[in-house]
Chains A and B, each alone.
Chain A
């Protein structure tokens, strides 16, 4: 990390994790709903 740059990496990781979780959860939801039909 270059000197003087704010340490905001935690926010970035949290945002990327949440994005992946939401998209994967929806993928699984679609799959499960199709199996129940």
Chain B
């Protein structure tokens, strides 16, 4: 299938570019004076978090469009974006504690932003479990759309949590109304990270979407499908 091949190529480009982010982060960014090398986790942690949030936003948007238009392509896209979002959430939730331990002295704390991002991960899991539990395709698509839409307000809370609550997370230093407060080499590496993680998101989603489509075709033709 052509879509699957396109997705594979985009993913391959994304993985190669990820190696470029690693090289930039290790060799071409300064070591932060107070945090040491652990600060460089920033270049994968923040892009993975932002990509997970974009994935959730698009799951919600696909849900709205599905409920309005009843087009199964939006349901299929929502499924793909949710699965890929789970992967980026996993990266966010594993790299975060590795940064927190040397800087905050603990792997985890029930800080507002950490708790809300854990909710995001659990929402992705819940979305996928729901899809696995409902067998009727129409009901599955409708329930999933509603759950996906519920994720949209969560994104606003995650972004605003550093303003609304007392939290260990710092205030935004790039995604804020004024100019980013980062040295040039750090900013370039971070922006490269954003770009690469988004390319990977696109490559993964295209592949996952194509798999969903092929599985549906196989089910419709009465073929046996023993796996997702």
CB of B192 closer than 8 Å to a CB of A: no
Smallest Cβ-Cβ distance to B102: which chain A residue = A8
* Chain A interface category by residue count: 20 to 34
Whether A34 lies near B207 (C-beta < 8 A) is yes
* Chain B interface category by residue count: 35 or more
Residue from the list B22, B33, B211 in contact with A2, Cβ < 8 A:
B33
With both chains docked as a complex, state the minimum distance between the C-beta of A35 and any C-beta of chain B, in angstroms. 10
CB of B31 closer than 8 Å to a CB of A: yes
B-contact bits for A2-13, CB 8 A (1 contact / 0 none): 101111110110
Smallest Cβ-Cβ distance to B103: which chain A residue = A8
Smallest Cβ-Cβ distance to A5: which chain B residue = B36
A-B contact count (CB 8 A): 100
State A22–B198 Cα separation when bound (angstroms). 16
With both chains docked as a complex, state the minimum distance between the C-beta of A10 and any C-beta of chain B, in angstroms. 9
List 24 A-B residue pairs with CB atoms under 8 Å apart, sorted by A's residue number.
A1-B36, A2-B31, A5-B33, A5-B36, A6-B35, A6-B38, A8-B36, A8-B102, A11-B99, A12-B98, A15-B41, A15-B94, A15-B98, A16-B25, A16-B41, A19-B94, A19-B95, A22-B94, A23-B91, A30-B7, A30-B208, A33-B227, A36-B227, A37-B215
Task: Name B residues whose Cβ lies closer than 8 Å to a Cβ of A.
Answer: 4, 7-8, 11, 15, 18, 22, 25, 31-41, 44-45, 48, 84, 87, 90-91, 94-95, 98-99, 101-103, 200, 204, 207-208, 210-211, 214-215, 218, 225, 227-228
